[in-house]
Amino acid sequence: AADLAHLETPAKVTHCAIDPNAPDVPSQLKPALAGAHLVLVPAGVPRKPGMSRDDLFSINANIARDIVLACSEACPEAVVALIVNPVNSIVPAMCEIYKSKGISPRKIVGVTTLDVVRANKFVSEINGKHVGDVAVPVVGGHAGKTILPLLSQVTPPIPDGKIRSLDQRIQDAGTEVVDAKGGKGSATLSMAYAG
């Protein structure tokens, strides 16, 4: 939190260290969350080579659960933006927690802007435009074939012969990074940029 406290914004940044082995993790988080309007949750373990997003669910769902439970008590009106893989599975599961507590599940959202960042970069490399002049809409989820870059919306158009491989590269970009890091990390820097 110390580095974020240096940003030139009026927001006050504090830290919160928890003991994950203590019996009530959500209670440890509540003081840091009290009164928050927006809670960004970049949490969980990264994917390792050969690991599917489903393999991450049991670990990362427990981490997200504790944070969402704390938010449900300390800041139930806040928007909780989850950057926790597998986003496609974590978000609906966390929405169920809010529903069970009578809180609108629409307060829980998944953040997948990284797919837009990747799509813009890869398209700029193909069409030769400056990446700042490229805007590829991406809809759907954040896992493989659920990532749907709307390449038909790109100007100038992508050559027909490149669409299938570009679509595949955008969908598999996370795996490309995990493999490039030899399993010692995931897309942390590009994720920070996308956020």
Dihedral pair phi/psi, residue 41, rounded to 5°:
-120, 85
Is the dihedral angle over the CA atoms 157, 159, 164, 165 positive or is it negative? negative
Q: Hey, what are 134's tokens?
A: 């490229």
pLDDT for residue 106: 97
Residue 109: burial class (beta carbons within 10 Å; 0-12, 13-18, 19+):
middle
Is residue 142 part of the annotated active site? The answer reads yes
- pLDDT at 1 (0 to 100): 59
pLDDT mean by block of 10 residues, the chain; 195 residues: 76 79 89 91 79 82 94 97 88 97 96 89 93 91 87 89 94 85 73 69
Question: Residue 43 has what pLDDT?
Answer: 82
Question: Which one from 6, 15, 130, 142 is the annotated catalytic residue?
Answer: 142
Residue 195 has what pLDDT? 64
CB 82 within 8 A of CB 109: yes
Query: What integer pLDDT is reported at residue 34 of this predicted model?
Result: 93
